[in-house]
Amino acid sequence: MVIVKNEVVKVIIVEDYKLTRVGLRSSLNEFEGVKVVAEAESGERGIQLIKELRPDVVLMDLGLPGINGIEAIQEIKDFDENIKIVVLTSHERDEEVLAALGSGANAYCLKDIEPNTLVSVIRNVNRGAAWLDPNIAGVALKLFPRPESARILNSSVVTDARSQLTERELEVLKLLVKGKSNTEIAKDLIVSVHTAKAHVCSILQKLCVDDRVQAAVKAIKENII
């Protein structure tokens, strides 16, 4: 890889295990052009440091105390969408991958990644690229529309699921898939937060799911939107 001379990518690590944070900092700082400027043990502390230090890239775990990594990603992107987020986690469930990408993550890495590969991801993401761990890359395909033939084969399932939802609920569901919070949905649709929450609750009941992430995944898998 060609490294731009004098390019230094400022990185903040958000990870609740101290040993992992220390190991990451030590490993990353050995590479030219990458500098860990801070580390945080929680999403709340990470957001605070990010607002103070304005890093180029954030390494974000998903399983955090307090607000989780998905929520932290949403808040960071609301604050500054130009900050790049690299998810670094052991979580590889479909729901978590889709939620992270829908919330604005620029890369999704599993924790068994080689240090030199992680550094390459950080540098490339900082320049505007996206990256997915090969082990979970297939999950991302669910974010894209299926071929027309597949839509026809599943038309009865899609029609049944979609017919249960009102036009407004379909609008809300589309925003859920994008990782929007109730507050953001309310703002986009020019309704109260209470109304947005009511729509979300109705969608969960009609789709027979337990939470908004499951609703988003079902919407993608079954081409409801």
Q: List, for residues 51-90, the tens digit of each pLDDT value.
A: 999 999 999 999 898 889 988 998 999 889 899 999 999 8
Q: Confirm whether 99 is domain-assigned.
A: yes
Kindly report the pTM of this predicted structure.
0.64
Q: What CATH number did the domain enclosing 216 receive?
A: 3.40.50.2300
- Examine residue 35 and state whether it is found in any structural domain, yes or no: yes
CB 189 within 8 A of CB 171: yes
**Residue 198 counted as domain residue:** yes
2 located within any domain: no
Asked whether residue 45 falls in the same domain as residue 83, the answer is yes
Which has more confidence, 217 or 124?
124
Q: Among the three residues 141, 168, 199, which one is the final residue of a domain in this structure?
A: 141
Note the pLDDT of residue 4: 46
Query: What are the pLDDT digits (tens) for 140-197?
Result: 655 544 444 444 434 344 446 677 889 999 999 888 877 778 888 899 999 998 999 9
- Inform me whether the pLDDT recorded for 17 exceeds 90: yes
Q: Is residue 4 part of a domain?
A: no
Q: How many domains does the structure of the chain reveal?
A: 2
Mean pLDDT of the chain: 83
For residue 106, the enclosing domain spans: 9-141
Indicate whether 27 and 124 sit together in one domain. yes
